[in-house]
Chains A and B, each alone.
Chain A
Amino acid sequence: EAQVTQNPRYLITVTGKKLTVTCSQNMNHEYMSWYRQDPGLGLRQIYYSMNVEVTDKGDVPEGYKVSRKEKRNFPLILESPSPNQTSLYFCASSLYAPGTGVYEQYFGPGTRLTVT
């Protein structure tokens, strides 16, 4: 079954304690992305990757890091989480064609993060 998986699904942590949210897809997609969703603000892109070792900042990258060492995995790293990073996080993957743009994205189930 084609899917995007995220772990953990729920996480409560304390300010400053480094954490990693994993994301994996089994569709051989080149393009992967992280979003955060907050009430009233919709989905905002954090980082995206167009292929292995190619990553770029989205609209709200501050306080986050990513890496793309393998095509299927795209972990999101919070080196020193703060309460304003409490949010619902989604990983997504899709095909991508230069000059055509981003195609339909497949989303993971979400990770609800609370930083106290």
Chain B
Amino acid sequence: SQQGEEDPQALSIQEGENATMNCSYKTSINNLQWYRQNSGRGLVHLILIRSNEREKHSGRLRVTLDTSKKSSSLLITASRAADTASYFCATAGAGSYQLTFGKGTKLSVIP
């Protein structure tokens, strides 16, 4: 079943601006992960945040998690043309053996 839902579906920004993508989910989780996919290629893991964490940073990426609202956000600061890709959130459910992906946000960064 599709758990994560990203918002917006598509986002277009100028190089240098920040990009924010949101993910909402429905059931309790062990962790939430964000992935990037360049067109037609395999997904690449970006960051994992556990259910007892509220914020995590990795380079220009900042992820927040609000378990009370069942939502997460991914912020990419000072975006570059190379950040153009689709971004997916995925949830690892409590007691589940599955990682469930959302439908993704397509980010376009215009040089």
Contact = CB atoms under 8 A, between A and B. Distances in A.
A24 interface: no
A48 B45 contact: no
Contacts of A59: 1-2, 100
Q: Which of the four size classes fits the interface of chain A?
A: 20 to 34
Contacts of A33: 99
B8 to A, nearest CB: 15
Given A42-B104, A101-B31, A102-B98, A107 B42 contact: yes
B103 A101 contact: no
A46 B88 CA distance: 18
B97 A56 contact: yes
A3 to B, nearest CB: 10
B50 to A, nearest CB: 9
Contacts of A4: 42
